[in-house]
Amino acid sequence: MPKRPCALEITKDSVTIISADKFGDVYSLPLIASETAAPKEVSRESSVISERPFKPAANELTIHSQRNRKALANQKRQALTGAEKTGPTFEHSLLLGHVSLLTDVKLAYSNGKNYIITADRDEHIRVSRGTPQTHIIEGFCLGHKEFISRICIPKERPDLLISGGGDNNLFVWRWESGELISGAELKSYVGTVLFSGKEAEEQTALLGSTKIAVSGIFSAKISSEGEALSTVIVTCEAVPALFVFSLTRENTLQYKQTLNLPGNALSVVTNLVASETAVPLNKLIVSIDNVFKPGSTSEVRTLGDETATPLLSFHFGNGLWVPETVFEKSIAKDIENRQAGNVNIVALKNLLYGIENLRKRDNEDRDEGVVTEVGSAATEDRNGGGEIDPHQAALDEDSTING
Amino acid sequence: MARPRMPYQCLEKCGKYLVAASGSHIDLFGLDDGSYFSRWTCPSLQGSENANGIAGETGAEFAHQDSRSSSFDIKVDATSPSSPPAKRRKLSQTGDEKTELGLPNESNELVEDSKDRLGGGKKQKKQKQNSRSAAVASGFDAPAVIALTVTKSSGHVVAITGEDKNIRVFELMEADGVPRLNQLSQRQVARVN
């Protein structure tokens, strides 16, 4: 069965793609595929296979009946086609493996050494050595109680790692030591967006039963009055807003601003620079969902309500992000092109909103009609209070070796 | 009736351009003024199979199975009509099941059928997976882009298309002053062991 890659990174030198997939494997492949490479010698896996080709125990001299002869012929044919089947079609090599579904991969650099940081559904963030010793685990960043969906290394603070997922908080780590430095509450800000029209009491009640799933963490460097500010922009699945935090010198995330959007935030591009001068523009672009209603992953917008532009841009000025209208014109101009053939709503939902599905089912059952505090205590129990699970780590290592 | 426009599920910055994936398309915009330049469209599963021989997921697997199984299974069946596999005739109901799931490959039915009789449980399981992914894939005309990334030098764009599990590498090039993405390679990530 083909495995589906779910996260991509490209090395600094722009020659290698690092890909993580849903089977928990991370592998590298060259950016430019070499056409001449014979599958035999390019991949570790395939060479292992070709070294030990299937050989039937019997041969033509040891079998006598017609039926056995046929069986042997079949075995030989199968061995041939089998090898054909398992041989990878392109040059690649397996770097490391998790026993869980991988959600994100990042390449990190520190003191001239490179590392691969991977996050998975089972609350682990693993720091592995970079190529060629990727099987060596340098450490873990453990503390998440729910799945991790995104990790981010701020460009101007490469020693830090910000992670988010199904938890109510964002985490800030010093990834090389695995030390948890700080966290930032996120859920209450999400609640403010989702339940803005509601009474305070109702808001609290609704918030208790709400789960958030971080869908994006983006670092943005902005220069304000000659000073460089490091900010972090967070999106949550099916939430029509951007949450802006500033990364302080004390390595904490300080909430700054919520940018309300006319549709659920999907993706963000930051750190835009002027094309000629490379001067930072203090701008960001966000894509929003213009098919589903804001705050929903199932309700489709009604006919008159689909005017929202799929791309919006914001500009940072006077300490706040403010909307611009750059993209609206060109998007509108190009409306013909952008009409989708047949938007299959279910397929679109699966494409846009897959992160909340990472949450474990037993949690869902447990939380039904139960006070949240009880729920989170149970989570803590299940994961041993965020302690390192050496058994799990050993398992991870095993899977790498057997890879 | 105006259909809803597809939103952009992935955005990336590539030099002075914005690379934005919408369903199975990748659009290029100018970052300065938001002007639209060009669009790359992922070939549909059937189309890619016919066009360049690098098949999409469902097509590839079906073709693969056919070539693999028909090469020996059916031959055996023909040469020795009394051979054991004939006992597994009841497995032919996989064929029915498949029809229920609305698979487009009805023309393959006959081949599949004879193969299933011999294939046994493992093959049956595979069949089911195929049906499921085909159903997922059928949501869009072509595989959707699920991840995008750009090289540091902004020269190449790498995209993953979900349903066919391909890693596609593009080169950013300008033709007549209009930047566009030129696909250099497409590699299907097949399970290796």
Nearest CA in chain B to A76: B72
Is residue B38 a part of any domain in this protein? yes
Is residue B120 a part of any domain in this protein? yes
Q: Give the per-residue pLDDT at A90.
A: 73
Nearest CA in chain A to B183: A32
Q: What is the average per-residue pLDDT within B127-155?
A: 69
For A9, A365, B161, the CA distances from B150, given in Å and listed in that order, are 8, 40, 15
Least confident of A220-234, B67-81, B129-143: B67-81
B143: pLDDT strictly greater than 70: yes
3-state secondary structure string across chain A: CCCCEEEEEECCCCCEEEEEECCCEEEEEECCCCCCCCHHHHCHHHHHHHHCCCCCCCCCCCCCCHHHHHHHHHHHHHHHHHHHHHCCCCCCEEEEECCCCEEEEEEEEECCEEEEEEEECCCEEEEEECCCCCCCEEEEEECCCCCEEEEECCCCCCCEEEEEECCCEEEEEECCCCEEEEEEECHHHHHHHHCCCCCHHHHHHHHHCCCCCEEEEEEEEEEECCEEEEEEEEEECCCCEEEEEEECCCCCEEEEEEEECCCCEEEEECCCECCCCCCECCEEEEEECCCECCCCCCCECCHHHCCCCCEEEEEEECCEEEEECHHHHHHHHCHHHHECCCCCHHHHHHHHCCCHHHCCHHHHHHHCCCCHHHHHHHHHHHCHHHCCCHHHHHHHHHHHHHC
Q: Is B5's CB within 8 Å of A335's CB? A: yes
Q: Which residues of B touch A155 (CB under 8 A)?
A: none
- Structural domain of residue B148, as residue ranges? 10-42+142-188
For the domain that residue B14 is a member of, what is the CATH number?
2.40.10.480
Q: How confident is the model at residue A172 (pLDDT cuts 50, 70, 90)?
A: very high
Is residue B49 a part of any domain in this protein? no
Residues in B 166-185 with any Cβ partner in A closer than 8 A: 167, 169, 184-185
Q: Which of B76, B144, B158 sits opposite A351 (nearest CB)?
A: B144
Q: Is B36's CB within 8 Å of A334's CB? A: yes
Residues B120 and B85 in one domain: yes
Is residue B1 a part of any domain in this protein? no
Residues B82 and B16 in one domain: no
Nearest CA in chain B to A266: B9
Q: Give the per-residue pLDDT at A259.
A: 94
Q: Which residues of A touch B165 (CB under 8 A)?
A: 2-5
Q: Give the per-residue pLDDT at A53.
A: 61
User: Could you give the percent of chain A with pLDDT greater than 90?
Assistant: 37
Residues B60 and B83 in one domain: yes
Q: Which residues of A touch B138 (CB under 8 A)?
A: 344, 347
Nearest CA in chain B to A286: B11
Residues in B 74-93 with any Cβ partner in A closer than 8 A: 76, 79-80, 83
Residues B127 and B154 in one domain: no
Q: B189 CB near a chain A CB, below 8 Å?
A: yes
Q: B63 CB near a chain A CB, below 8 Å?
A: no
Q: How confident is the model at residue A107 (pLDDT cuts 50, 70, 90)?
A: very high
A148: pLDDT strictly greater than 90: yes
Q: Give the per-residue pLDDT at A360.
A: 86
Q: What is the average per-residue pLDDT within A143-147?
A: 94
Is residue B50 a part of any domain in this protein? no
Residue finishing a domain among B137, B160, B176: B137
Q: Give the per-residue pLDDT at A368.
A: 40
Q: Give the per-residue pLDDT at B150.
A: 93
Residues B78 and B126 in one domain: yes
Residues B133 and B153 in one domain: no
Strongest mean pLDDT among A186-195, A219-228, B77-86: A186-195
Q: How confident is the model at residue B117 (pLDDT cuts 50, 70, 90)?
A: very low
Residues B125 and B172 in one domain: no
Residues B147 and B116 in one domain: no
Residues B155 and B105 in one domain: no
Taking only the tens place, the pLDDT of each residue in A3-59 is 678 899 999 888 999 999 888 899 898 998 775 444 443 344 444 444 456 677 778
Beta-ladder partners of B173 = B180
The domain tally of chain B equals: 2
Residues B29 and B59 in one domain: no
At residue B150, the 3 state secondary structure works out as: strand
A370: pLDDT strictly greater than 60: no
Q: Is A2's CB within 8 Å of B57's CB? A: yes
Least confident of A304-318, B5-19, B28-42: A304-318
Taking only the tens place, the pLDDT of each residue in B36-62 is 888 999 988 764 443 333 333 333 333
Which residue would you say has higher pLDDT here, A303 or A387?
A303
Q: Give the per-residue pLDDT at A37.
A: 45
Q: How confident is the model at residue B4 (pLDDT cuts 50, 70, 90)?
A: low
Taking only the tens place, the pLDDT of each residue in B160-190 is 988 888 899 999 998 888 899 999 988 887 6
Residues B169 and B121 in one domain: no
Q: B57 CB near a chain A CB, below 8 Å?
A: yes
Q: How confident is the model at residue B13 (pLDDT cuts 50, 70, 90)?
A: very high
Rounded distance between C-alpha atoms, residue A368 and residue A379, angstroms: 14
Residues B106 and B148 in one domain: no
Q: Give the per-residue pLDDT at B141.
A: 73
The mean predicted confidence, pLDDT, of chain B is: 65
Which residue would you say has higher pLDDT here, B103 or B145?
B145
Q: Give the per-residue pLDDT at B115.
A: 44
A397: pLDDT strictly greater than 50: no
Is residue B148 a part of any domain in this protein? yes
Is residue B4 a part of any domain in this protein? no
Is residue B2 a part of any domain in this protein? no
